[in-house]
Chains A and B, each alone.
Chain A
Amino acid sequence: MFEQFLSFLGALLDQTGLAHFWWGNAVMIAVGCTMIYLAVAKGYEPLLLVGIGFSCVIANVPGSDLTQPGGLFHYAYQGVQLLVVPPLIFFGVGAMTDFAPMIANPKLVILGAAAHLGIFVALIGAKLLGFSLNEAGAIGIIGGADGPMAIFMTIKLAPHLLPQISVAAYSYMALMPLIQPPVMKLLTTREERLIRMKQSRHVTRLEKIAFPIVIGIIVNLFFPPVAPLITMLMLGNLFREVLVVSRLAKTAANDLMNVIIIILTLAIGSTMAAEQFLTLQTIEIVGLGLLAFVFGTGSGVIGAKIMNLFLKEKINPLLGSAGIASVPIAARVSHNVALEYDKENYLIYHAMGPNLAGVFGTAISGAIMLALLGVK
C-alpha cells in the first residue's frame, strides 16, 4: 500500500512543473527578473521591459499553459507572427509623432541612412559566423533599432530567429542610453559637442497634412515590401495632423497603443523559453546586435562630421547618432549628451529630424534587402 501511495505521489509530482524544472529555467527567470528590476529601479523603458520580463518568467515555469496553444501568451505571439501587431504599432506611433522636425530640416534626413552602417556590419558578421544570408539579413536589421521593423523583417527572412532577434532589438533599444554615449564622445571633440543649432523654420499645417499623403504614395510606389508598416505610420500621422478626427488620433496614440504594447511585450517575453533561448546562436545574435548598435551610432556621428565638411553652417555631430531609428530614445540620448557640456544646448527638436528619418532609413534598407534576397 505504501508503494502504491508513493507511486501515486510520484505520478502527481510528474504532472506539476517541478519535475521538468532545469537550471536553464532558473537562468531565464533571473533574466526576466533583471528586466523588471531595470525597468522599475533604473527606469529603462518600463513600458517594454515590465511586460517582457514578466512573460519571460512565466514562459520558464514548466507546466504553464499560457504559452501553449490555447493560452493567451500564445495568441499574443500569433498577433506578432501574423504581422498584425507591427503595423498597428506603427499606426500608434504615427498618431503620436510630430514630423515637423524632419520636414523643417531636410538636410538632416540623410543621417537617417548614414546611421545604418551597423545593419551591414552585423549582416557580414553573421555571415562570417555561418548564418544563412536570409538569417544574416534579419540579424543585421537589429542595427536599425526599430523593433516593429526588426520583427517584420525577421518574420519575412528567418521566422525561427524571432525570439532572439526581437529580444536583442528591444533590449538594446532600452539600453541605448548606456551604449551610445561612449561611442558619441569617442568620435567627437568637446568643441563639436558644444555646437548650437539654429532655430528651425515653422512648418505649416498644410505641409504637415501633405507629408503623410506624399510619403504614403512614395513608399507604396518604391518600397512595396515594407509598405504595410510605413503606410500605417502615415495613416496614424494623418489622423493626428488633419485635426478633424482628434478622437481617432487619441485612440490610436493612447488606448490602442497601450493594448498593442501589452500584446507585444507578452508575445516577446513568452518566446524566451530556456530550451530555445539558451543556445550559442542566441549569444552570437546578441553580440552581433551590440556590434550593430555601436557601428550604427558611430557611422551616424561620422556621417554628420562628413556633412560638416560641406556645410557653411555646421551641425552638431551628436545629431548623427539619432539617425538610428529608435524614436525618441536616440534623439533623447543626443540631447542629454549635449546638455552634459552646455546646459542650454537643447538638441531634442533638431535630433528628432534624423531620428524620424531613421525610421524611413531602416524601412528603405529593409525593402531593398527583401528585394535583393528575392523575398516578398
Chain B
Amino acid sequence: MTMPDSLYGAVMLSLIDFFASMVMITGIGVVLALFPLLNRIGKVDEDALRKSQH
C-alpha cells in the first residue's frame, strides 16, 4: 500500500516519516549507549595497529 498522491497523502507521509525517524534514531542512540560495554571485552593496542601498516 502506498500513499495517495494528495495533500492528505503528503501530511500522512510526513507524520509517519517524522515519528518513525525519531523512533529509529532513538534506537541508534540506545545502541550507542551500550557501546561502553564493548570495553569489557578487551582493549585494542593502537601502537601495534599503527606499526602494522599494509
Contact = CB atoms under 8 A, between A and B. Distances in A.
Contacts of A222: 24
B17 A243 contact: no
A365 B21 contact: yes
Interface string A98-125: 0000110011011011101101100110
Contact of A113 (B22, B42, B43, B53): B22
B16 A112 contact: no
Interface in A212-262: 214-215, 218, 222-223, 242-247
Contact of B38 (A137, A206, A218, A368): A206
A7 interface: no
Nearest to B25: A113
Contacts of B54: 244-245
Interface in B8-47: 9-11, 13-18, 20-22, 24-26, 28-33, 35-36, 38-39, 41-44, 46
A127 B10 contact: yes
A116 B15 CA distance: 12
Contacts of B44: 204-206, 209
A136 interface: yes
Contacts of A218: 28, 31
Contacts of B17: 119-120, 365, 368-369, 372
B10 A133 contact: yes
A106 to B, nearest CB: 4
A203 B36 CA distance: 8
A373 B13 contact: yes
Given A103-B32, A207-B36, A245-B54, A110 B26 contact: yes
Contacts of A117: 18
A127 B7 contact: yes
Chief secondary structure at chain B's binding surface: helix
Interface residues of A, number: 54
Given A133-B13, A204-B43, A247-B53, A360 B25 contact: yes
Contacts of B16: 368, 372
Contact of A369 (B13, B22, B25, B41): B13
Contacts of B2: 372-374
Interface in A334-376: 357, 360-361, 364-365, 368-369, 372-374
B24 A107 contact: no
Nearest to A124: B10
6 A-B pairs with the lowest CB-CB distances in the bound complex, closest first: A120-B14, A374-B2, A127-B10, A106-B32, A109-B29, A243-B49
Interface of B: 2-7, 9-11, 13-18, 20-22, 24-26, 28-33, 35-36, 38-39, 41-44, 46, 49-50, 52-54
Given A109-B29, A127-B10, A207-B35, 20 more contacts: A106-B32, A109-B26, A113-B21, A113-B24, A116-B21, A120-B14, A120-B18, A124-B10, A127-B7, A132-B5, A134-B5, A204-B39, A205-B46, A210-B35, A245-B53, A364-B24, A364-B25, A365-B17, A365-B18, A373-B3
